[in-house]
A = this chain, B = another copy of it.
Amino acid sequence: MPRTNGTVVGTQVEDTRICVVMVGLPARGKSLIAGKIVRYLRWLSVDARSFNVGTYRRQDTPQPTADFFDINNKEGERMRRAAAEAAVKDMLKWFSQEKGTVAILDATNSTRARRKWLAQTISSRGIEVMFVESKCDDEDLIMSNIMEVKTTSPDYRGQDPEAAARDFRDRIRNYEKVYETITETDYTYVKLINVGTQVVINCIQDYLQSRIVYFLMNLHIKPRSIWLSRHGESMYNLAGKIGGDADLSPRGMRYGEVLPELCRQSGILPQQGITVWTSTMKRTIQTAQHLPYNKLQWKALDELDSGTCDGLTYEEIEEQFPEDFKARDDDKYNYRYRGGESYRDLVIRLEPIIMEMERQENVMVVTHQAVIRCIYAYFMNVPQDRSPWMEIPLHTVIKLTPKAYGTKEERFKANIPAVSTFRPKYSSAKHQEADSPDVNELSVKMSI
C-alpha cells in the first residue's frame, strides 16, 4: 500500500495483493463493475488494473459468432482457454514486475473447473483470490446490457445491430448451458444478485477485501445525477486569502439567490427527491440557503485544512514559507500544510462521502474548491498529478451523470461575475476577475 507523508490509505498489510475474479454470464454488467472497482481503488492510491479476457481472445478471433462459444466447439474452447491463460500470464507479470496491488480478471469464469484452475494458479503465487459474481435475472437490465453491447462491443463492430443482438443472445445461451453459480464455500467470494438487491459474502479475509465488498454493497444502477457547486464568492476570495470561515461577498450572496433557478435549468425538477449536502462552513451554508430541498451538513466536506497558512494570501505564504510554497507546487497532491492537510489526506476524509454518493440517487453538493477537485477526480477518473490543478470556477454548477461507460459532464454558469481563485503553478499573483480576458481557457471551454 502506498505511503506518503507517513499516511497510509488504510490497510495495515503492505504486501496485500488481490486478484478479483469476475464471474457471470455475458450482459450482467461485469465490465462495468470491474471498471468501478478500478476507479475507486486508484482514487484511493491503490494500484489497480483490469485484465479483460475478451481483449486477448480478439487478438486471434476478432469477430466470432455464437458458435465459437458452443460447448461442443473444441477449437473454440481451446482458443478461449488460450486467451484466459494469456490474460492470467500478463496479470501475474503485472503483479511481480510492476508491483500491482489489485487486478481484476474480467471474464465469465462461469464453471467450477475454470474457477478451480484460477484459484490454484493465482493463489500459488501468494496472491489472494476473491471471486465477484454478478447474477442477474432482471430481464430489463439484461436487455439494456445487450443493447449496449451490440452497439459498443468490438465483437460486433460494423455489423447490423439486430443481427448482432440475435447472435449475442445465442452466445449467452451457450454460456448458460455450462454456467454454475458460485457455491464453493472454501473460496472468498461476493455474489451480487440483481446489483444492490441481495449480496452474499463468503470468507472475507482482510481490510482491503472488506473495503471492496462494502463498495460493491453500495453500488446501484438506477439512473441519477450528481450536482456540484462551490460556495458563492466569499470575502476571503475577494481578499485573495485562503481558508478561514468568511461570509459570502455581495456577489456570492447573489449567486445563492439565483442558484435555485440554475438548478432548475440544469434539470432538477421541483418535485424530484434531492438532498443538498454542504460543509459546516458559513460560505457553503449561505450559498445553499435558498434551495428548497432537504439539507445536510457534513464536517467531512469542509475545505482542505491549510494549517498555519490559514487566512494568508498566496503572496504571504510565498514570503513567509518560501520552501513550503515551492514544495507544494512540486507535488501538490502529497504536500501537507504544516498543521493541516494534503490532497491525499482529503481523499481519505472524503471516502465515506464518495461511498454515500454511490449509494444515493440524486444529490447536490455545495462545497469547496479542493473538495470538489477530489470528488470530480473520482467520478471523472482524473489522475493525481492533474486533479489538484483543475480549474473549478466559482458561480458554476457542474452536473455529472454516470452512464454505463463513463460519466457525462455538463456545466451551468450563473451570469454573476466572480474572481477566479485558480492559481497556476509557482504563481502567487492576486486573484483576477474570472470574466476578464485573463480567464483560464479551460474554464470557458468547459462551461456551457
Contact = CB atoms under 8 A, between A and B. Distances in A.
Interface of A: 3, 5-8, 10, 12, 185, 197-204, 207, 210, 213-214, 217-218, 245, 275, 277, 280, 285, 294, 296-300, 305, 310, 339, 345, 348, 352, 356, 359-360
A296 B356 CA distance: 27
A352 B10 contact: yes
Given A7-B299, A296-B12, A198 B198 contact: no
A339 B306 CA distance: 10
Given A198-B201, A202-B198, A356 B8 contact: no
Contacts of A218: 210
Contacts of A310: 339
A201 B217 contact: yes
B197 A198 contact: no
Nearest to A344: B299
B185 A204 contact: no
Contact of A12 (B185, B197, B275, B352): B275
A40 B396 CA distance: 40
A370 to B, nearest CB: 16
Contacts of A3: 297
Nearest to A214: B214
Contacts of A199: 199-202
**3 smallest beta-carbon distances between A and B, as pairs:** A6-B280, A199-B201, A12-B296
A280 B210 contact: no
B8 A296 contact: yes
A345 to B, nearest CB: 6
Nearest to A198: B202
Contacts of A339: 245, 310
Contacts of A200: 198-201
A186 to B, nearest CB: 11
B213 A217 contact: yes
A252 B444 CA distance: 57
Contacts of A305: 305
Given A199-B201, A201-B199, A339-B310, A12 B277 contact: yes
Given A197-B202, A207-B356, A214-B214, 14 more contacts: A6-B297, A7-B280, A8-B297, A10-B352, A12-B277, A12-B356, A198-B202, A198-B203, A199-B201, A200-B200, A213-B217, A299-B345, A305-B305, A310-B339
Contacts of A5: 280
A311 B166 CA distance: 72
Nearest to A294: B12
7 contacts: A6-B280, A6-B297, A10-B352, A198-B202, A210-B218, A210-B359, A310-B339
A300 to B, nearest CB: 8
Greatest chain B CB density within 10 A among A213, A277, A339 is at A339
A198 B305 CA distance: 41
A294 B14 CA distance: 10
Contacts of A8: 296-298
A357 B345 CA distance: 21
Contacts of A203: 197-198
A185 B198 contact: yes
Greatest chain B CB density within 10 A among A7, A12, A280, A298 is at A12
A207 B359 contact: yes
A297 B213 contact: no
A360 B185 CA distance: 22
A297 B4 CA distance: 10
A291 to B, nearest CB: 14
A284 to B, nearest CB: 10
Contacts of A356: 10, 12, 207
Contacts of A285: 6
A197 B186 CA distance: 10
Contacts of A204: 217
